[in-house]
Structure 1
Amino acid sequence: MSSTAAALSPGEQLRASYLATRSFTDQIAQPLSAEDCTVQSMDDASPTKWHLAHTTWFFETFILRTQSDYREFDPEFNFLFNSYYNSIGRQYPRSRRGLISRPGMQQVEDYRNHVDREMSRRLGCDDFATQNAELLQIGINHEQQHQELMLTDAKHMLSCNPTWPIYRDDPFDRAVAERAERWIEVPDGMHDIGHEGDGFAYDNESPRHATHLHATSIATTLVTNGEFLEFVQDGGYERPEFWLSMGWATVQQDNWDAPLYWVQQDGRWHQFTLAGLVPVDPDWPVTHVSYFEADAFARWAGKRLPTEFQWEAACQIANRSSDVSLEQEPFADVLMKQNKCIHPTRSPAGLMGGVWQWTCSSYAGYPGYRPPAGAVGEYNGKFMCNQYVLRGGSVATSSNHIRDTYRNFFPPEARWQFTGIRLADD
């Protein structure tokens, strides 16, 4: 914490964090037109306008509506912008969010301004801030998750346009030369896994517990486009021996022959980025691959994907052996501040950043896990089924929204997020 932040009262610190988070959300939405913000390109994605309203609904619902003197902006929003909180009430179907043409963007902006004024004013009272500190931290981190979704959902939406429109015409980050590949040795034995101590963490990162790990090696570099292109050229998408049964069925059903956003033009592979269509750079980390593709590549390469526990243990070892500053790694806030394209172009110095890294671990609760009581308990626990864990964050993640215990999760066919591959070996 800086000396300036330390001099602020608890309410002032929370207000500054709240307003900074809300401002960054608006910055992400700024390059998009009102028409862009309404489109829903697939069931897994949501319109930008919906993200803007839903994150606002979260603060209004869980904090402001508990205040007797608060006047809600529009009662209909409780139905339109509730995502999946069944204990709060009914929700508008996720797959039809793109049909919500009204409220329009101006009214959603008015809604955000209304809630921001109320939150900012009330955070001037330290008692209010103290009483709601835990919910505020959850709400801030919840909005940061939606900032990432706004970027990936907007990218998918723009990719559906045959003219390959540009989100922001920013140059790519090429400042750091690629490091030589080496391996982090994780020794056989007991390792402590999970969050403990100060600082925010989600409930699914606890309780901290000891688990036995067999000796393994984790690559210090991410799998590159060039390496993945070798898999493609070797008939990787045509050879069922590398694929899980469900993965092979998905390849056949959806006609996959390369990562999402790879297209061939004039006999050469290109990939769609937030700065438009560019030739596939062999040195960049491969991204927008599913668990099925990551697992198939690992089998083809004679390696495997790490478990999430091996990944976390390797991250702990890497952090002890080097001075890694997340504020220097390719995260969304860092890249935007530098006016660089939000796209992975290098492996980070540590294990965090660049792309979300698939592990071979199914998403489940740790020993002794219990979801919190009330609606907030619906945030993580009820999704512990048919999902795989990803670690490390990506270029769409903010640098103050990631830690080595963070557990992301998606179904194995998902690939619209910035997902990639870090290999393990025995």
Structure 2
Amino acid sequence: MNRDPAPHHPLVQRLIDARRVSDALFSVVKPEYLYERPIRERHRIVFYIGHLEAFDRNLFDERLCPLPAFAPELDQLFAFGIDPVDGGFPTDQPSDWPSLDAVHDYANKARKQIDERLAEFEFGSGGMSTGSPDQLMHVAIEHRLMHAETLAYMLHQLPLEMKAAPQDAAPKAASARNVECSPMVRVSAGEAVLGMKREDGRFGWDNEFGEQRVQVEAFEIDRYMVTNAQFRAFIDAGGYGNRAYWNDKDWAWKEAEGVAHPVSWSQDADGKWMLRTMFNDIPLPPDWPVYVSHAEASAYAHWAGKTLPTEAQWQRAAHGVPHAPSGNYDFRSWDPQAVDATPDNVSTFGVEGQYGNGWEWTSSLFEALPGFVAFPFYPGYSANFFDGQHYVLKGGSARTAQCMLRPTFRNWFQPRYQHVYAGFRCMRAL
């Protein structure tokens, strides 16, 4: 699956580069384990091998160029999304899926078919208008890059012996530093801008359009993301056992699932905390950001006498961050780094590291911006999740593509989903 299309228009080259990222991720899994399901809410790994190519084929067909069906049953099989149906868990068995040879054959043929047409296509007409060739290419590119991050955190949960570490995955050693206390910085009252105008002519997903200007009162916010050391203090203080810190739904989930610590934490025989990275178990690095669910982040914030910021507050706090900040993103690393490792990735107010190193939970439900219009070629991308059950995340992680670090980008997940590379910082009203 490494045949490059030609000629290499910049958009085509970006698709090629995105394919290389996803192909490299699948190669991390030893072939005999590609039918595993590392996270019960998600499909088996083999699904995504077919899905990425099926998505492109289904998106481009008759919109960008005609792509006659050669395996319509597989187009349909690999077309459906990643969320469970009606809140349940998938019940399929490995035997329900085509053989690995059949899946690879489908993916190769789909990619070859697309490449042959892209080699003949001229881009540039229609700009970023709805359904234009350039817009469709951006959708295909970013969809694949989103899945590259989804696959990374899925594979993170796969047992270590099922993976083959690439050469760039050198083992990480725990840092000796300990960021025990995150100073809070003052963010002055002012305007936060969410989303963008359609007439700006930039690419964005449907939920990014509908510029909204929000007046935000002054507040304080953590300079850094909450660290493993800080979250350990919450655990040591009995935070997971104190009902007062949790809302009703989060407490019921925690009790039912037996959640007592972040999903990638464990304790060795001596009671020492360990962290599961992608390819190793290492002593818990105290100055890395903690990755937790919205439920756990909210409980910590309550314990600390603070709250999570709203989407508008987070955006206000990020005012003045350089357009291309330094940071841990764009697949540069498999792991986080210290929360204070990028002193030039800082906002006007002194808030550090908001882009990269971990998505950040907000207290805002994922909702439409004013004048929302769903993409007609992908109507369920956002609209299916305006359900009061998903919260906005901002920023990005080490496995987030650089193109999605734009200030308007909005991520979202359910509050009790632990697997995302997501942490948080707290705020306090003045």
Which residue of structure 2 aligns with residue 416 of structure 1?
Answer: 419
275-284 vs 37-46, which deviates more? 37-46
Which residue of structure 2 aligns with residue 147 of structure 1?
Answer: 148
Alpha-carbon deviations, 1:366-391, whole Å to 9, x = none? 1222323x341211112111111111
Relative to structure 1, the CA distance from residue 84 to residue 345 in structure 2 (aligned partners, 3 Å threshold; closer, same or farther) is closer
C-alpha distance in 2 between matches for 1:63 and 1:418? 31
Q: How far has the Cα of 1:255 moved from its partner?
A: 1.3
C-alpha distance in 2 between matches for 1:267 and 1:420? 24
Which residue of structure 1 aligns with residue 366 of structure 2?
Answer: 363
Secondary structure at 1:361 match in 2 = strand
Secondary structure at 1:140 match in 2 = helix
Q: Residue 110 of structure 1: which of 105, 111, 123 is its match?
A: 105
Relative to structure 1, the CA distance from residue 170 to residue 98 in structure 2 (aligned partners, 3 Å threshold; closer, same or farther) is farther
Secondary structure at 1:383 match in 2 = coil
Which residue of structure 2 aligns with residue 338 of structure 1?
Answer: none
C-alpha distance in 2 between matches for 1:69 and 1:245? 52
Relative to structure 1, the CA distance from residue 100 to residue 312 in structure 2 (aligned partners, 3 Å threshold; closer, same or farther) is farther
On the 8 A contact 1:39/1:98 being kept in 2, the answer is no
Q: Residue 285 of structure 1: which of 276, 282, 289 is its match?
A: 289
Q: How far has the Cα of 1:128 moved from its partner?
A: 6.2
C-alpha distance in 2 between matches for 1:96 and 1:307? 36
Q: How many residues matched?
A: 396
Unaligned stretches of 5+ residues in structure 2: 1-5, 126-131, 346-352
Q: Residue 54 of structure 1: which of 8, 27, 51 is its match?
A: 51
Relative to structure 1, the CA distance from residue 174 to residue 382 in structure 2 (aligned partners, 3 Å threshold; closer, same or farther) is same
Which residue of structure 1 aligns with residue 75 of structure 2?
Answer: 78
Alpha-carbon deviations, 1:216-260, whole Å to 9, x = none? 122231111100001000000111111111111112111111111
Secondary structure at 1:379 match in 2 = helix
After TM superposition, the score normalised by the length of structure 1 is: 0.84
Relative to structure 1, the CA distance from residue 69 to residue 330 in structure 2 (aligned partners, 3 Å threshold; closer, same or farther) is closer
C-alpha distance in 2 between matches for 1:204 and 1:122? 30
Q: Residue 90 of structure 2: which of 86, 91, 95 is its match?
A: 95
Which residue of structure 1 aligns with residue 193 of structure 2?
Answer: 192
Letter in 1 for 2:35: T
Residue 235 of structure 2 corresponds to residue 238 of structure 1: no
Relative to structure 1, the CA distance from residue 397 to residue 174 in structure 2 (aligned partners, 3 Å threshold; closer, same or farther) is farther
C-alpha distance in 1 between matches for 2:213 and 2:155? 40
Q: Residue 377 of structure 1: which of 376, 379, 398 is its match?
A: 379
On the 8 A contact 1:269/1:279 being kept in 2, the answer is yes
Relative to structure 1, the CA distance from residue 228 to residue 404 in structure 2 (aligned partners, 3 Å threshold; closer, same or farther) is same
Residue 391 of structure 2 corresponds to residue 396 of structure 1: no
Q: Residue 114 of structure 2: which of 99, 112, 119 is its match?
A: 119
Alpha-carbon deviations, 1:166-220, whole Å to 9, x = none? 6555233999x89994545332243322134343211111211211212112223
Indicate the RMSD between aligned Cα atoms, in angstroms: 2.9
Counterparts of residues 240-255 of structure 1 (less than 5 Å): 240-255=243-258
Letter in 2 for 1:209: Q
Letter in 2 for 1:50: F
C-alpha distance in 2 between matches for 1:171 and 1:95? 34
Which residue of structure 2 aligns with residue 221 of structure 1?
Answer: 224
C-alpha distance in 1 between matches for 2:358 and 2:122? 40
C-alpha distance in 1 between matches for 2:184 and 2:33? 43
Percent identity over the alignment is: 26
Which residue of structure 2 aligns with residue 170 of structure 1?
Answer: 170
Higher helix proportion, which one?
A: 1
C-alpha distance in 2 between matches for 1:120 and 1:129? 18
Alpha-carbon deviations, 1:15-49, whole Å to 9, x = none? 11111111111011112122222111343222222
